[in-house]
Structure 1
Amino acid sequence: MQLSDIEAVLFDMDGTLVDSDAAVERAWWSWAVEYGVAPAAALAIAHGSPADRTVRRLLPGLDGTAVAAASARQLALQYDDLSDVTATPGAHELLLTLARLGLPWAVVTSADARLAEVRLRAAGIDPPVLVTVEDVSAGKPDPQGYLRAAELLDVSAARCLVVEDAEVGLLAGRAAGAMTAALKGLDGDLRLDDLTHLADRLESAPASP
């Protein structure tokens, strides 16, 4: 599939549309200290994954109730930590480009609704469609979130571009059958320096025959 064939764009939130990496890492560091986990081990696997998946990997001996409590604690550490949360470079430019091109878009995040809403608000971004971890039964790398977003936009997932900054998210996008665009040096169908790069690529993409 070519970029000119894309009918919708599906974005990850943290690290993709919203620069919240520092807040994410502060929360996981504090959580790890509380739960007796090596902070470096938590930071190595936390980006892009739902909190409960990361908790299970770090503390495999916890039962379901304890995992839920530990996951809730991790999210609670993030809700009010917004001092340096902002839009990523090129995010607003890219969203304006999508509007000019008439391409619908959505945000698909491993955050819960409360965290997603406060972070997007801090970044000045108001998505027309938001799919959070609470909207699916399995988070990334499962494709459910991206499939749900495509359904809500009334577009085939195979005609969507998934934009991600984490390998688990790229796995989810590929599993959904979408074209992928990767930030931070990761491998996608497209490799992006930043979101301005994607805006330029979309503007210059040849029209479909």
Structure 2
Amino acid sequence: MDGTLVDSTAVVENEWRRFSTRFDLNAEEVIAFAHGRQTIDTVIHFIGTGEETVAAADELDERELVILDGIVAMAGSTDLLKRLPQDRWALVTSASRELAVNRMKAAGLPLPPVMVCRGCR
């Protein structure tokens, strides 16, 4: 989804910069590592495991659910999805279902009948 159908770069990088400042980390290193990974994996990589880790990851995930300004459709994705039969495509992402739905809607893109997401059952 992200980077293929939806451009969430501005939101994601801003949140990782905020995280980096909070934990006195090099933001560019964190951002370079974080793209394409689940939040918890990046947080563990940079601050280790423990209660603070879970809390930091949960906070990042919660903020990304509601910060939608700057989420846009990738060039050509709207036209592509209009051309595909509704029953012939699926959305696959490491994001949660809620985040995927929020971002697709924020980008003005339709939701497919099948979604494969983190935590989807």
Could you state the TM-score of these two structures normalised by the residue count of structure 1? 0.52
Task: Flag the structure with larger Rg.
Answer: 1
Cα deviation, 1:81-137, whole Å, max 9, x if unaligned, reads 2122111111011112222xx87111122222222111111112212212221238x
Task: Output aligned runs, 1:1-209, within 5 Å.
Answer: 13-60=1-48, 62-63=49-50, 65-99=51-85, 104-125=88-109, 126-135=111-120
- SS of the residue corresponding to residue 84 of structure 1 reads coil
Which ranges of 4 or more aligned residues in structure 1 deviate by more than 6 Å? none
| Structure with greater helix share of residues | 2
Following the alignment from structure 2 to structure 1, what is the Cα–Cα distance between the partners of residues 113 and 78?
Answer: 14
Following the alignment from structure 1 to structure 2, what is the Cα–Cα distance between the partners of residues 121 and 54?
Answer: 26
Look up the equivalent residue of 2:77 and give its one-letter code: A
CA RMSD in angstroms comes to 1.9
Could you state the TM-score of these two structures normalised by the residue count of structure 2? 0.86
Following the alignment from structure 2 to structure 1, what is the Cα–Cα distance between the partners of residues 66 and 11?
Answer: 10
**Gap runs ≥5 in structure 1:** 1-12, 137-209
CA contact (8 A) 1:31 1:73 kept: no
**Gap runs ≥5 in structure 2:** none
Following the alignment from structure 1 to structure 2, what is the Cα–Cα distance between the partners of residues 27 and 97?
Answer: 34
Following the alignment from structure 2 to structure 1, what is the Cα–Cα distance between the partners of residues 21 and 63?
Answer: 12
**Shift, 1:42, TM fit:** 0.9
How many correspondences in the alignment?
A: 120
* Structure with greater contact order relative to length (CA < 8 Å, sep ≥ 6): 2
**Shift, 1:22, TM fit:** 0.8
